[in-house]
């Protein structure tokens, strides 16, 4: 039986292992940490459970697909509930807006709240859907780096209608063309953060992201976000994938134009195929040091990172839901600080994720588990202890202002995750959450492909390569990468 090695047990690595096993390979996954899931990890602390990483779950069919692939009913192993409320938004002047998952309800409520004709809101959403329909097959389901992708009817249709994709405008420009109300513009600008970019730079094609949320829905996985990676990990073990934890890969070994295997902290292993789920920058800089480096790709701007406070809160906040956003009053300046000055803004946009709204056991009675995140620049040598201390004060001030509380008195327990720790724990260069940023209309084409141009049997998956970061795209990256690998 042919052997495949997967480097990294993040969600894309596990998905790649499952797909390779289905192709008939003997699969071993090597992971430097002592657990599976990568950024999709969790902790328990003082009676509270916290998901540490990604907090948005959409397109659950991509998870289900992996169970179906191996002949299992996913509902016997993994379950989730669709949310009727996508997100609650708060502004410092007291304005609030709850986004319903139902598209027609959203059109009606947004029209009433922001004094905009419902026809304009509907036209905007329809245009977003058109962008998705024109590009999904090319940008999300296939390799952008194989010529055969471009010789298809779908590609021809996209090229003919490329003017409707708004690639020569920024997301902010597109949103301002549709809406006069600055708060509605800000609400739709926020979707740039879904791939770690700035709405004032990223191209207008990114307005299709809200379509993904409204069309496919947002969900809460039973057991929390961590259960996504853990259910797939258990499935992989069930079908015979071997996992070797606490065994860091030191090099990808090769001869001429083929990789021959890997060397780890415990020894060397041969393989017919190697798939790297490690950040592509770290893969080249640490595992392929003497190989030819894709210099231009590795020099690209990185996506934003995150500063996250995990707080056990000694009170219930009925005005909050699973997903909540407290907006900055200086949104453009906030992104300028992040991407130009590499600093945290004094008035940050604050995201609060509370899984105890769905899972009562995630917090003690009459308490809530708050995942409090602000966008952060990548780690480029800043004075993080000073920045974190200042940011904590600013976050608390923002929460107190918007929610009318004294939140610090309610914090029973605290843990902090910053870009340095993200970089150290996940080998993500500079602690970036999504690999490279999408602050360019060519960003999708400049991402590293899911295969190696240098080695015929080396492949790549995960958020740092095509098609990008976030749970759905990571799962798609595994599919794109392994579809190029022959049956064993």
At residue 312's C-alpha, the angle toward residues 307 and 313, to 5°, is: 110
Task: Encode 381-427 in three state secondary structure.
Answer: CCCHHHHHHHHHHHHHHHHHHHHCCCHHHHEEEEEEECHHHHHHHHC
Query: Residue 65: CB partners within 8 Å, gap ≥ 6?
Result: none
Q: pLDDT tens digits, residue range 295-340?
A: 888 888 999 999 999 999 999 999 999 999 999 999 999 999 999 9
Task: State the pLDDT at residue 141.
Answer: 64
Tell which wins on pLDDT, 147 or 252.
Answer: 252
Tell which wins on pLDDT, 203 or 134.
Answer: 203
Average pLDDT score over residue span 66-75: 98
Distance CA 355, CA 363 (A): 9
Positive or negative: CA dihedral 330, 333, 339, 343:
negative
Work out the percent of the chain whose per-residue pLDDT is above 90. Answer: 83
Q: Topology of 3-38+225-300+435-483 in CATH?
A: FAD/NAD(P)-binding domain (3.50.50)
> Can you name the residues that pair with 44 across neighbouring β-strands?
49
Distance CA 124, CA 107 (A): 10
Is the pLDDT at 142 greater than 90, yes or no? no
Task: State the pLDDT at residue 215.
Answer: 84
Q: pLDDT tens digits, residue range 401-442?
A: 999 999 999 999 999 999 999 999 999 999 999 988 887 776
Write b or e for each residue in 21-46: b if 16 or more Cβ atoms lie within 10 A of its Cβ, otherwise e: bbbebbbbbbbbbebbbbbbbbeeee
Angle between helix axes 471-483 and 61-69 (nearest 10 degrees) is: 40
Distance CA 385, CA 257 (A): 45
- List Cα–Cα distances, 485 to 30, 273, 295, 476, in angstroms: 19, 8, 26, 15
Question: Please, which pLDDT band fits residue 167 given cuts at 50, 70 and 90?
Answer: confident
Is the pLDDT at 446 greater than 80, yes or no? no
Longest Cα–Cα distance of the chain, Å, equals 65
| Beta strands at 80-82 and 42-45: parallel, antiparallel or unpaired | unpaired
Q: Where along the chain do its domains lie?
A: 3-38+225-300+435-483, 104-216
Question: Cα 269 from chain centroid?
Answer: 31
Q: How many CA atoms lie within 13 A of 416 on its CB side?
A: 12
> Can you name the residues that pair with 413 across neighbouring β-strands?
312
Contact 488, 1 (CB under 8 A): yes
Mean per-residue pLDDT of the chain:
93
Distance CA 417, CA 431 (A): 10
Nearest to 52 by CA among 274, 300, 292, 308: 308
Task: State the pLDDT at residue 151.
Answer: 47
Is the pLDDT at 264 greater than 80, yes or no? yes
Is the pLDDT at 443 greater than 80, yes or no? no
Q: pLDDT tens digits, residue range 367-386?
A: 999 999 999 999 999 999 99
Is the pLDDT at 145 greater than 70, yes or no? no
Q: pLDDT tens digits, residue range 101-122?
A: 999 999 999 999 999 999 999 9
Nearest to 132 by CA among 48, 28, 207, 76: 207
Total residue length of the chain: 488
What are the φ and ψ backbone dihedral angles of 412, each rounded to 5 degrees?
-90, -30
């Amino acid at each position: 039986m042919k052997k495949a090695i997967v480097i990294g047990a993040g969600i894309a690595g596990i998905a790649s292992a499952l797909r390779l096993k289905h192709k008939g390979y003997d699969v071993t996954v090597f992971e430097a940490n002592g657990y599976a899931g990568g950024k999709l990890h969790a902790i328990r602390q003082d009676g509270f459970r916290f998901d540490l990483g990604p907090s948005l779950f959409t397109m659950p069919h991509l998870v289900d697909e992996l169970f179906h692939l191996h002949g299992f009913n996913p509902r016997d192993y993994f379950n989730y509930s669709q949310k009727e409320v996508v997100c609650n938004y708060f502004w410092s002047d007291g304005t609030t807006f709850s986004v319903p998952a139902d598209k027609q309800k959203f059109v009606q409520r947004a029209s009433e709240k922001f004094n905009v004709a419902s026809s304009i809101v509907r036209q905007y959403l329809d245009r977003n859907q058109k962008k998705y329909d024109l590009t999904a097959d090319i940008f999300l389901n296939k390799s952008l780096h194989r010529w055969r992708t471009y010789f298809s009817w779908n590609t021809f249709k996209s090229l003919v209608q490329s003017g409707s994709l708004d690639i020569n405008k920024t997301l902010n420009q597109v949103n301002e063309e549709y809406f006069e109300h600055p708060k509605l513009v800000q609400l739709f600008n926020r979707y740039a953060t879904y791939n770690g970019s700035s709405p004032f730079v990223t191209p207008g094609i990114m307005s299709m992201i809200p379509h993904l949320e409204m069309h496919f829905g947002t969900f809460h996985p039973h057991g929390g976000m961590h259960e996504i990676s853990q259910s797939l990990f258990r499935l992989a073990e069930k079908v015979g994938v071997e996992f070797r934890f606490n065994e860091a890969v030191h090099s990808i070994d090769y001869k001429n134009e083929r990789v021959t295997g890997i060397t780890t902290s415990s020894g060397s292993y041969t393989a017919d195929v190697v798939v790297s789920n490690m950040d592509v920058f770290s893969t080249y800089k640490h595992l392929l040091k003497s190989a030819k480096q894709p210099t231009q790709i590795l020099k690209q701007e990185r996506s934003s990172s995150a500063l996250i406070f995990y707080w056990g809160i000694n009170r219930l906040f009925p005005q909050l839901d699973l997903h909540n956003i407290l907006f900055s009053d200086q949104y453009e300046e906030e992104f300028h600080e992040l991407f130009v000055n590499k600093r945290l803004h004094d008035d940050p946009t604050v995201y609060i994720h509370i899984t105890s709204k769905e899972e009562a056991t995630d917090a003690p009675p009459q308490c809530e588990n708050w995942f409090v995140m602000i966008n952060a620049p990548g780690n480029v040598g800043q004075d993080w202890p000073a920045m974190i201390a200042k940011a904590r004060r600013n976050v608390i001030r923002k929460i107190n202002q918007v929610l009318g509380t004294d939140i610090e008195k309610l914090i029973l327990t605290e843990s902090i995750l910053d870009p340095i720790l993200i970089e150290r724990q996940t080998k993500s260069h500079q602690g970036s959450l999504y690999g490279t940023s999408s602050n360019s209309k060519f960003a999708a084409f400049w991402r590293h492909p899911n295969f190696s141009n240098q080695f015929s049997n080396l492949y790549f998956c995960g958020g740092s390569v095509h098609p990008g970061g976030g749970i759905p795209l990571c799962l798609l990256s595994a599919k794109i990468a392994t579809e190029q690998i022959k049956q064993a």
